[in-house]
Structure 1
Amino acid sequence: MNKTAFFDSLTEQKPDPLLELIAKFAADPRPGKIDLGVGVYRDETGRTPVMKAVKAAEHHLWETQQSKSYIGPEGDPVFLRTLASEVFGERRGGKPVAGIQTPGGTGALRLAAELLALDKRRKIWIGTPTWVNHQAIFASVGLQIATYRFFDIEKQTVLVDEMLTTLRNAAPGDAVLLQTSCHNPTGAALSQQNWRDIADIIAAKGLIPLFDNAYQGLGRGRVEDAAGMIDVIETVAEAMVAVSCSKSFSLYRERTGAAYLFGDRQASLNKAIGNLASYARTSYSMPPAHGAAIVAATLEDPSLHRTWVDELSEMRTRIVEIRLAAAEAFGQFRPELANIGSQEGMFSLLPISPENVRQLRSEHGIYMPDSGRINVAGMRVRDIASVAERIGPYLT
């Protein structure tokens, strides 16, 4: 009998660094250890709670849901309609919109990447540093990736001029990846004028913007966080948006998201959605239904919607409080880190070497990725000063 050695012939893959970090933190027996790595919101007790609105929506579904049958590759139409209304509001420049439900924001990015990769000449421009999975997603479909510097870690500032110059030099038909708000991993925010300049260049050059909208409501507010994205959508011919419900609804494990397309003609959008549905069918076939049903129930019910808005506001207020305290504490070691207070969302990027990150981990039980990205929501307000005192001497 012939024996195969197919599995033995495979190339061993490196484990995901963040997943490795989770395992190392869990195995650390020290009581004072601090997790600044995992990208989930935590309250002052260190928990990632289920939102009250979500619990109430789940109870409603338990009482009223009558089937667990498939929902189809396109997903739940009520979810898509209510989420679009919440994310984009009324400001769309009169543009038609079409959407498809996806397994989280990552699934939406992957479907968008598949569509963009149909043109083998196209590049997608990505500002660096960026979320660690961005480049891997686009590379996996054969899309050409080009990068530019977006953020100066030492000065803690956005490199707006470099960004705009890069976009001016991009080829017509190229795509550009833009994070709507609460930039991961830097927390850096663009001004409204920056967004207008970006919109004008994208429109003039005939570029295709792809927005990663993962943290809406955790920066300046639900409407404010989307304002720059809406400026671009109103200005350009076509746009793509990947929406995640993981953070704003705290639905991490439900893998709830959507991809939305904007254009001038509904018929063209419907054709594009048909292509996305085809990719979905050969990948995961149908999206998971439970999280989408929760979001739809929450957004459709005025009382649950108010409860959710209040909870999201509380989360945002806590993040702002942490940022202001962290800006003061870390700014004593590096004046530039006072900018943490004007950044937004859960993440900031510290100027620290991978060697010093590992030393912090072994000597002080403070866990963060080698990049120096910290989840500010992983800190309790009362611990910020002591955390900064331990990290400060390791900053480069």
Structure 2
Amino acid sequence: MLIKLKQQPADKILALMAMYRDDPRPTKIDLGVGVYKNAEGVTPVMRAVKEAERRLVEEQTSKAYVGLAGDPAYGDAMVNLILGTSVARDRIAAAATPGGTGAVRQAFELIHNTSPDATVWVSNPTWPNHVSILNYLGVPNTTYRYFDAETRGVDFEGMLEDLAGAKSGDVILLHGCCHNPTGANLNLTQWQAVVDLLLERGLIPMIDIAYQGFGDGLEEDAAATRLIASSVPECLIAASCSKNFGVYRERTGLLMGITEDAGNTGVVQGNLNHLNRQNFSFPPDHGARVVTTILTDETLRADWATELEATRLGMLGLREQLASELQRLSGSDRFGFIAQHRGMFSQLGTTPDMVERLRAEHGIYMVSDSRLNIAGLNKVTVPILAKAIVDTGI
């Protein structure tokens, strides 16, 4: 059997990491890996996380399994963080998952099992793993226009025009905030137009929210998700704690299913539990319990929110510094979009050949679609990147 296996394509980001590691140039810059790093190039453990873990070590008396959906307190805490009071709690089923990727995978499998004829519409571009998982599961999928390579903003008219062609029962995958990979986001007026289209066409939204708190603030970044979830009969939400709590390796995610009738919530919950059982049985608990401890303790939550806000403002400052330096060097405001984008990423909108030139000539590593990780920069490396971009002719 094993001799019949074929080599799988190498993961582009992992291959980029290997190239970066082997590059001897002292001025090299890694902007490819989608992980937050501070000015020292470290992904830190947040203060509140350290304190929550200390409490768990001292107070936890067992490592026995939790329920199939994870600790109910974790589900409650995350529902409150993301949705607030926008949707009645008795309409929401929730299950812990191994990271946001696990939540996305479970949502796609639920769609596949329940509505095999539904097409999942994803933005062009989107996080590559979205399409990879859909194809692996055999779920029909297609794209809708999203990123305008000329303006480096959202092609909103193209987006609405494409989604108007979706059939009733299709699923529309939306990024709740901080679009990955482009960094270009809709405003609330545009989100309302999307809601109107969802209702008009009988479409089901699935929201992937992985960067709450990295864009305009915790409440502001949840606004679109809350608007959609409170406006439509049904909704799926895949959430990740990897970025805003910095617990990447703890694999801490949540899948929510919002149903029109509270009387059906138990059935939805049972199906989420069943999916967990089939795929991994019980979800990991350590990261979920850390997050729960933070969100349910007033002091820890305030400290976490303060550190998260400092992280957000730091990335915003790097965006403004890079846009300003590019304007100074190029004599043009064509890079102003970088300061307008939000989250960890921006997409330059250039070609793979130009991206390769940045790597070969300047030691600047980014994904071939020209996505750059703003969190991979610091005040010293911003001018280096800006000069490389201008010298390359992007």
Superposition TM-score, scaled by structure 2 size:
0.96
Match runs of 1:340-379 below 5 Å = 340-379=338-377
Q: Provide the C-alpha distance between the structure 1 equivalents of 2:170 and 2:13, rounded to a whole number of angstroms.
A: 31
Deviations 1:45-72 (A, max 9, x none): 1111000000000000000001111113
Change (3 A) 1:176 1:116: same
Cα offset for 1:314? Answer: 0.3
Name 2:267's counterpart in structure 1: 271
Q: Provide the C-alpha distance between the structure 2 equivalents of 1:13 and 1:83, rounded to a whole number of angstroms.
A: 36
Cα offset for 1:377? Answer: 0.9
Match runs of 1:54-203 below 5 Å = 54-92=49-87, 96-118=91-113, 119-203=115-199
Q: Provide the C-alpha distance between the structure 1 equivalents of 2:4 and 2:265, rounded to a whole number of angstroms.
A: 43
Matched to 1:314, the amino acid is A
Q: Provide the C-alpha distance between the structure 1 equivalents of 2:282 and 2:19, rounded to a whole number of angstroms.
A: 34
Cα offset for 1:279? Answer: 1.9
Asked whether the 8 Å contact 2:90–2:265 carries over to 1, the reply is no
Deviations 1:333-390 (A, max 9, x none): 4633211111100000113322222232222221111111000111002321221101
Deviations 1:210-257 (A, max 9, x none): 000000011001111111111111111101100000000001111000
Q: Provide the C-alpha distance between the structure 1 equivalents of 2:235 and 2:295, rounded to a whole number of angstroms.
A: 24
Name 2:10's counterpart in structure 1: 15
Match runs of 1:18-33 below 5 Å = 18-33=13-28
Deviations 1:303-331 (A, max 9, x none): 10000000010000001101111112234
Name 1:225's counterpart in structure 2: 221
Cα offset for 1:94? Answer: 7.5
Matched to 1:371, the amino acid is D
Asked whether the 8 Å contact 1:330–1:337 carries over to 2, the reply is yes
Asked whether the 8 Å contact 2:153–2:185 carries over to 1, the reply is no
Asked whether the 8 Å contact 2:208–2:237 carries over to 1, the reply is yes
Name 1:208's counterpart in structure 2: 204
Matched to 1:326, the amino acid is L
Cα offset for 1:193? Answer: 0.4
Greater CA deviation, 45-54 or 113-122? 113-122
2:277 to 263, 274, 281: 281
Cα offset for 1:95? Answer: 6.8
Asked whether the 8 Å contact 1:95–1:262 carries over to 2, the reply is no
Cα offset for 1:260? Answer: 0.7
- Structure 1 unmatched runs, 5+: 1-5
Q: Determine whether 1:42 maps to 2:40.
A: no
SS at match of 1:172: coil
Deviations 1:256-281 (A, max 9, x none): 00001112223322212222222221
Matched to 2:219, the amino acid is V
Aligned residues: 391
Greater CA deviation, 156-165 or 270-279? 270-279
SS at match of 1:243: strand
Q: Provide the C-alpha distance between the structure 2 equivalents of 1:12 and 1:232, rounded to a whole number of angstroms.
A: 41
Matched to 1:253, the amino acid is R
Q: Provide the C-alpha distance between the structure 2 equivalents of 1:267 and 1:143, rounded to a whole number of angstroms.
A: 29
Q: Provide the C-alpha distance between the structure 2 equivalents of 1:284 and 1:93, rounded to a whole number of angstroms.
A: 29
Asked whether the 8 Å contact 1:73–1:286 carries over to 2, the reply is yes
Q: Provide the C-alpha distance between the structure 2 equivalents of 1:328 and 1:95, rounded to a whole number of angstroms.
A: 48
Name 1:3's counterpart in structure 2: none
Asked whether the 8 Å contact 2:144–2:163 carries over to 1, the reply is no
Asked whether the 8 Å contact 1:199–1:232 carries over to 2, the reply is yes
Q: Provide the C-alpha distance between the structure 1 equivalents of 2:287 and 2:73, rounded to a whole number of angstroms.
A: 12
Asked whether the 8 Å contact 1:95–1:234 carries over to 2, the reply is no
Matched to 2:333, the amino acid is P
Match runs of 1:235-250 below 5 Å = 235-250=231-246
SS at match of 1:177: strand
SS at match of 2:183: coil
Q: Provide the C-alpha distance between the structure 2 equivalents of 1:284 and 1:23, rounded to a whole number of angstroms.
A: 30
SS at match of 1:140: helix
Matched to 2:277, the amino acid is R
Greater CA deviation, 18-27 or 366-375? 18-27
